[in-house]
Amino acid sequence: MPLIDSSIKPVVLASQSPRRIELLKKIIDQFEVQVSHVEETLDTDDPVTFVREISRRKAAEIAALFDHGIIIGADSIVVSNSRILGKPRNRDEAIEMLTFLSDRTHQVYTGFTIIENPGGKIHTDIEVTDVVFRKLKPWEIERYIDVAQPFDKAGSYGIQDESAVFVEKIDGCFYNVMGLPLTKLYNSLKPFFKL
C-alpha cells in the first residue's frame, strides 16, 4: 500500500491530466478524478500568484461537489525571462516555444491546493524547478513535435516523453516538472491524515 491510506478519508483529484493521475498513485492508493472547468487565465504577471490562484479555483470548484473528503487541485506553467508559456495552440506555436526554450534556463511553477470537507480547511503551496535546455537543432524540434504532439503541455514539452533529451539538467523537484511536486504535496497531505 502507498504511504497514504485513503480508506481513512476519500481523496479527489481535480485534474484529468494522465501525468498527475499517474504521479498521485505513487502516494495514495485510491482516489477519484474530477474534471475542473476553471478558465486558466488571471490578470497577473506573477507566476506564483498565478499557479496558486488557479490551483485554488480548481480545487474549490470540485470541493463544492463533495461534502466529505480531501480535494486536490494543481496548475503548472513554464516561465522564462518573464515570459509565461502556456499550451501551444498549433504546430507553429509549439516550434516557436521550443526554439525560445532552446539553449536557455526556464522555470516550471506548480501551485497546488488541498481542501478538506466538511469545513473547507485549505492549504496552498507552490514549487519551482529550474530546467536547463541544451541547444536544439530545428530538425530535433520538428521531429519531437511530430512524435509527441505536445499540444496539451505548458511550454510545448513533457519531460517524461521524447523531450527528455532536450534537458541538460534540472535543479529541484523532477515531478514538479511533470505537473505535481510529489514530495511537497505528500508533506502537505500528512497533517490531513495525521501522519
- Rg over alpha carbons for the chain, rounded to the nearest Å, is 17
Q: Verify binding: residue 27, its own copies, rule CB under 8 A.
A: yes
Q: How far is the CB of 55 from its own copies (least distance, A)?
A: 19
Report helix, strand or coil for 82: coil
In the region spanning residues 58 to 87, those forming contacts with its own copies, defined by CB under 8 A, are none
Which of 46, 75, 92, 161 is catalytic? The answer is 75
Angle between helices 91-101 and 138-148 (to 10 degrees): 130
Q: How far is the CB of 135 from its own copies (least distance, A)?
A: 10
Count, residues near its own copies per rule CB under 8 A? 30
Q: Verify binding: residue 140, its own copies, rule CB under 8 A.
A: yes
Q: Verify binding: residue 1, its own copies, rule CB under 8 A.
A: yes
C-alpha cell at 19: 501525468
Residue type at 4 in one-letter notation: I
Cα separation of the two ends of the chain = 15
Q: Is 75 a catalytic residue?
A: yes
DSSP label at residue 161: T
Q: How far is the CB of 116 from its own copies (least distance, A)?
A: 20
Any idea which residues carry the catalytic annotation?
Answer: 75
